[in-house]
Amino acid sequence: MLISWQHFPYFAIPSVLLWALGAYYSFREKKTLTATFTLLGIVLFFAFICGLWISLERPPLRTMGETRLWYSFFLPVAGIITWSRWKYRWILSFSTILALVFICVNLFKPEIHNTTLMPALQSPWFAPHVIVYMFCYALFGAALAVALYLLFVPTKRDDENIWNMLDNLVYVGLSFMTIGMLFGALWAKEAWGHYWAWDPKETWAGITWLSFLVYIHYRQLSRNAFRSKVAIFMVIISFCCLQMCWWGINYLPSAQGKSVHTYNMK
Amino acid sequence: MWSKPWKFAEGITIGAGLILVGLMLQFTIGPIDWRLLAYPFNTILLAIYVLVLGILYAVRKHVYVIEWTMTIYAAVPALGYGVLVTLLMGLSGWDQMLRSWPFTLVYIWLMNILGLITIRRILHFTQGGIVRNLCFICNHLGLFMAMVCGTLGYADMQKYRLTAKVDQPEWRAIDLVGTLMPPKVVELPLAIELHDFTIDEYPPKYVVIDNETGMIVADSPWRIRQDSIWEYAAIVYGCKDSLGNQDMDRYVEWPSMGACTAGFITATRYASAKEAAEGQGSVLETKQGWVSCGSFMFPYKALLLDSLYSAVMPDREPKRYASDVTVYAANNQKMDGTIEVNKPLEIDGWKIYQVSYDSALGRWSDTSVFELVRDPWLPWVYAGIYMMLAGAVLTFITAGRHRH
Ligand code: HEM
């Protein structure tokens, strides 16, 4: 039997429940149970992605609905990696809630899911490029949550640990973004003849990248309360740029119909 | 301000000064023509630039600006201005920005900082281990190389668009980076002979549309099944149907230029869209007939289902474009090959990309459009890109270790 979007709820709902259990046990500091439930949820969710991949006969990376699928997958993945490395108790609750949001969008607003892949996208670079980007989005999402937490709970701004957490998330997120962007450049060279064409999407990726670099370099300085607040806003602004890059440019008048990433005579 | 040690304020002022000077240059000299830097000027410029950076580094102890330039206090405002000018371009969509002085001066400032700190780090590794220093060098030197070589190399990049017709060797092409208006036609040192151009398409699809709006309806009570299909078909108007009394159009096989795809379908109506989607429930009504996406010779054809809905076949989506070619290059070099999207052909320092075809004729196109690119600085840019990739991996590995 072929897996299709019709079967999505049967995979997504149990996965979310498993992730929620994992998040619950991470608060209770039960390490084995946390890891087991979260990983089970991830495996189940990935099974759906693989099934869809097989029945579509192409990686499900094309429509917005499909990228949301990867986003909901990588949130818990990023969550469990962060958790296993630094043992933040809240991170799994956060990743579960965000994943749930994206799953709900896919459940309640399914799009017409296209099954074809235009020639320019048929490249070995395609899957790694998009997957790495999705992973970086998930990490920056977590960084935003930490930044907002620091913004609204000023008493925590002296807590060295939280700042380290924020730094780590941005560092790892940025290294993934760099990889995604450079894969994109190498691919663009093969597909369109140039590695960087300042196309609106590329321009906004560049802005986002530079913007997170501002944060990273700023954080090299000694830390005090005033600086910390500036740093928080740097993360928030960078995250807004990231949203522009991801979907905002679709609504930006100056970017309409300009993308080189289309394929036709006109 | 301007009392040692310099902090952010000085950086913010310097950036504002650069923008101001940039605007003045913009209004007096006008936009920058990067093409003027063609070989050998770019090579000479690069040598001078690296030399100047080296000298600046050597005299850093005597010139305070240089010492300050190598600090975070200079880097953060410079990066901030980098975000700002790029943001302006991103918001306005004004890509002339790339030729503007303020944009260029800010980026040169960034490159100066990058160059100087890289020299320092290569000459003096800091504490924190070899991995950390390597990571720093990969990130900063990689970006420096990719940006500087990419920018200077742009002047030497050649990019042409060549339109080839089947069986007619072609060597004339339009220059895509030189003069834009009017397009300049040049004779290339290589020729392309197109033997065959093919388009593979995905299997045809059938969708239900709204009669009024023509929009695809995702949840109609109709379910469509394909009974038979002609990949290469011609329409025959006004035939008799199976009962022998009614005028109807049908399709016959026709394996020749301009043929279209036509499918004979059965559409069944169910009580609800849900039943139709699952194909379960009692069938209320059926309709049969031909639908076609048409071609440049034949019209498309829809099947009217009821007063609300029709069934149509959208244009078939291309899966693969390929050109069978022979390329003739200098020194009697000759190469047979297939050029596809994502699979350029490489010969004599040129890369040849499949970019387009005659879309009016669709899969019957007898022309193919190529882009020919030659970029002698590419290896240096790639070296920078690969260094940055290594840097990103090292950043990932070292993240979370204690920083001072
Ligand atoms: C690939 C992107 C970049 C990354 C990942 C990055 C990362 C870093 C890191 C982690 C440090 C701290 C030094 C260390 O502990 O190793 C640093 C220092 C520094 N970066 Fe960057 N950076 C990047 C691009 C830039 C750019 C574009 C500039 C130019 C303005 C710059 C200027 C500096 C300066 C001035 C320092 C301090 C000098 C030093 O420590 O030697 N960086 N960078």
pLDDT tens readout for residues A248-266: 887 877 766 555 443 332 2
User: What is the predicted pLDDT for the residue at A61?
Assistant: 76
* Distance between Cα A116 and ligand 1 center (Å): 43
- Residues of chain B above pLDDT 70, percent: 96
| Residue A160 binned pLDDT confidence (cut-offs 50, 70, 90) | confident
How many helices and strands, by DSSP H and E, does chain A display? 8, 0
Closest-CA residue of chain B to A222: B404
| Residue A51 binned pLDDT confidence (cut-offs 50, 70, 90) | very high
As a whole number of angstroms, the distance between CA B373 and CA B377 comes to 12
* Distance between Cα A98 and ligand 1 center (Å): 32
pLDDT tens digits, one per residue of B142-157: 999 999 999 999 989 9
Q: Chain B contact for A65, CB < 8 A?
A: no
- Contact between A52 and A61 (Cβ < 8 Å): no
Q: Work out which ligand 1 atom sits closest to the CA atom of B133.
A: 16
Tell me which chain B residues have a C-beta less than 8 angstroms from the C-beta of A211. 83
pLDDT tens digits, one per residue of B52-79: 999 999 999 999 999 999 999 999 999 9
* Residue among B69, B121, B134, B140 whose CB has most ligand 1 atoms within 8 A, to mutate: B140
Q: Chain B contact for A151, CB < 8 A?
A: no
Exposure of A155 by Cβ count < 10 A (0-12 exposed, 13-18 middle, 19+ buried)?
A: exposed
Exposure of B272 by Cβ count < 10 A (0-12 exposed, 13-18 middle, 19+ buried)?
A: exposed
For residues B36 and A127, the model is more confident at B36
Tokens for B36, please give them.
């003027």
- Mean pLDDT of the region A165-171: 91
B319 and A112 in contact by Cβ < 8 A? no
User: For chain A, how big is the Rg over CA atoms in Å?
Assistant: 19
Tell me A62's DSSP state.
S
User: What is the predicted pLDDT for the residue at A116?
Assistant: 59
Q: Chain B contact for A240, CB < 8 A?
A: no
Q: Work out which ligand 1 atom sits closest to the CA atom of B76.
A: 30
B241: pLDDT strictly greater than 70: no
User: What is the predicted pLDDT for the residue at B243?
Assistant: 66
For residues B113 and B307, the model is more confident at B113
**Does ipTM surpass 0.95 in this model?**
no
- Contact between A83 and A63 (Cβ < 8 Å): no
Q: Chain B contact for A172, CB < 8 A?
A: yes
Q: What is the pTM of this model?
A: 0.83
CA distances from B155 to B43, B180, B181 (A): 11, 15, 18
Total Cβ atoms within 10 A of residue B184: 13
Angle formed at CA B212 by CA B207 and CA B214, multiple of 5 degrees: 35
Beta bridge partners of B345: B352
B307: pLDDT strictly greater than 80: yes
| Residue B364 binned pLDDT confidence (cut-offs 50, 70, 90) | confident
User: What is the predicted pLDDT for the residue at B181?
Assistant: 60
A112: pLDDT strictly greater than 70: no
- Mean pLDDT of the region B337-363: 89
User: What is the predicted pLDDT for the residue at B183?
Assistant: 74
Query: Which residues have a Cβ under 8 Å from the Cβ of B224 and sit 6 or more positions away?
Result: B206, B208, B265, B266, B267, B311
As a whole number of angstroms, the distance between CA B111 and CA B91 comes to 24
Mutation test of the interface with chain B: which of A62, A207, A218, A221, choosing the one with the most B Cβ atoms within 10 A?
A207
Mutation test of the interface with chain A: which of B83, B92, B158, choosing the one with the most A Cβ atoms within 10 A?
B83
B33: pLDDT strictly greater than 70: yes
Closest to A213 (Cβ–Cβ): which among B79, B319, B371? Answer: B79
| Residue B168 binned pLDDT confidence (cut-offs 50, 70, 90) | very high
The CB of B80 under 6 Å from ligand 1? The reply is no
For residues A85 and B146, the model is more confident at B146
- Mean pLDDT of the region A11-23: 95
B399 and A168 in contact by Cβ < 8 A? yes
Tell me which chain B residues have a C-beta less than 8 angstroms from the C-beta of A265. 356-359, 369
Query: Which residues have a Cβ under 8 Å from the Cβ of B302 and sit 6 or more positions away?
Result: B209, B291, B310, B311, B312
Taken in order B222, B226, B231, B236, is the CA torsion positive or negative? negative
**Residue B180 to chain A, least CA–CA distance (Å):** 16
CA distances from B157 to A37, A196, A260, B175 (A): 55, 13, 18, 11
* Distance between Cα B136 and ligand 1 center (Å): 7
Bridge pairing between strands B170-175 and B185-201: antiparallel
Tokens for A18, please give them.
């498993």
Q: What is the dihedral of CA B3, B7, B9, B11, to 10 degrees?
A: 110
Lowest mean pLDDT among A33-47, B65-79, B161-175, B229-243: B229-243
3-state secondary structure of B209: strand
Up-side HSE of residue B45: CA atoms within 13 Å toward CB?
A: 14
User: What is the predicted pLDDT for the residue at A111?
Assistant: 57
User: What is the predicted pLDDT for the residue at B128?
Assistant: 80
The CB of B56 under 6 Å from ligand 1? The reply is no
B245: pLDDT strictly greater than 70: no
Report which listed range, A109-123, B234-248, B305-319, is most confident.
Answer: B305-319
Tell me which chain B residues have a C-beta less than 8 angstroms from the C-beta of A204. 90
Q: Work out which ligand 1 atom sits closest to the CA atom of B117.
A: 41
- Contact between A79 and A92 (Cβ < 8 Å): yes
Tell me A134's DSSP state.
H
Long-range contacts of A119-124 (CB under 8 A, 24+ apart): A119/A263, A119/B318, A119/B319, A119/B320, A119/B321, A119/B340, A119/B341, A119/B342, A120/A191, A120/A192, A120/A261, A120/A263, A120/B341, A120/B342, A121/A62, A122/B319, A122/B320, A122/B341, A122/B342, A123/A187, A123/A190, A123/A191, A123/B342
Which chain A residues in 198-217 lie under 8 Å from chain B, judged by CB atoms? 198, 200, 203-204, 206-207, 210-211, 213-214, 217
User: What is the predicted pLDDT for the residue at B385?
Assistant: 97
- pLDDT, averaged across chain B: 90
Tell me which chain A residues have a C-beta less than 8 angstroms from the C-beta of B274. none
Q: What is the DSSP string of B278-342?
A: HT-S---EEEEEEEE---SSS--B-EE-SSSEEEE-PPPPEEEEEEEEEEEETTTEEEEEEEETT
Which chain A residues in 82-101 lie under 8 Å from chain B, judged by CB atoms? 85-86
Q: Chain B contact for A127, CB < 8 A?
A: no
Q: What is the dihedral of CA A125, A129, A132, A133, to 10 degrees?
A: -170
Residue labelled with tokens 């990049």 = B157
For residues A87 and B380, the model is more confident at B380
User: What is the predicted pLDDT for the residue at A215?
Assistant: 95
B309: pLDDT strictly greater than 60: yes
B36: pLDDT strictly greater than 60: yes
Bridge pairing between strands B170-175 and B285-292: unpaired
B98 and A264 in contact by Cβ < 8 A? no
A153: pLDDT strictly greater than 50: yes
Residue labelled with tokens 């940025």 = A174
Tell me B343's DSSP state.
B
Mutation test of the interface with chain A: which of B85, B91, B144, choosing the one with the most A Cβ atoms within 10 A?
B91
3-state secondary structure of B400: coil
User: What is the predicted pLDDT for the residue at B404?
Assistant: 43
The CB of B78 under 6 Å from ligand 1? The reply is yes
- Percentages helix, strand, coil for chain B (3-state, rounded to 5) are 40, 30, 30
| Residue B246 binned pLDDT confidence (cut-offs 50, 70, 90) | low
Closest CA to A266 of A5, A257, A1, B364: A257
User: What is the predicted pLDDT for the residue at B373?
Assistant: 93
B400 and A178 in contact by Cβ < 8 A? no
- Mean pLDDT of the region B350-362: 87
In what order do the strands lie in the sheet containing B285-292? Answer: B247-253, B222-240, B260-269, B285-292
Phi and psi at B77, nearest 5°, equal: -60, -35
3-state secondary structure of B160: strand
A64: pLDDT strictly greater than 80: no
- Mean pLDDT of the region A145-152: 92
A136: pLDDT strictly greater than 60: yes
Residue labelled with tokens 């039997």 = A1
Query: Which residues have a Cβ under 8 Å from the Cβ of B347 and sit 6 or more positions away?
Result: B190, B327, B329, B333, B335
